[in-house]
Amino acid sequence: MGNIQMVGKSQGPMYKGEKPIEAGLAPMFTLNEIAKHAIDFWLSTEDLPQSDNRVTLAKDGNIRLSYTPSNIKPKEQLYKKLKSMINHLGMFEHLVQRNLYMKNEIDISGVAHQAGTCRFGADPKSSVLDTHCKAHELDNLYVVDTSFFPSIGAVNPGLTAMANALRVGDHLLERLGASTPES
């Protein structure tokens, strides 16, 4: 489904940046008080592949992104689960307005972990890279970032990308007949 994690503390001015219209109606001291008593969470779900999603180059040289959000229902279920867990705690119900929240969805421009633009597989007709992340059509081009991921999970992909880069590096050492320095 995804994950729920606590994150660092919000500050009043952050609300102004995230929700400028709503936060603009409140004085800063009110936003600071809300932030002081807030519990901050980050919800993230896997972004599943969509066959129509793609990055293309337009005739004028501009990059075009065609993207359709996916996994909407699990995202909504995850949010309901978080609300249920918080309500189940039953703490401070007399002090806290239970339905006051600064929910914010991040659109595609705020995505930090792009992935999936170079499908990999055995068949050059349906993939750009082979199973060693080498371009099918070029003998000396390897892609070792998150482009080869079929989807992007609900967690930071950094360690997986590094592990794959090491795997591809080992393949290149073997292919080139090189040896690793002894420790």
**Residues annotated as part of the active site:** 113
CA distance 149 to 157: 9
Going by C-alpha positions, the residue among 47, 45, 38 that lies closest to residue 81 is: 45
CA distance 99 to 79: 13
| Residue recorded with tokens 């996916």 | 70
CA distance 147 to 164: 11
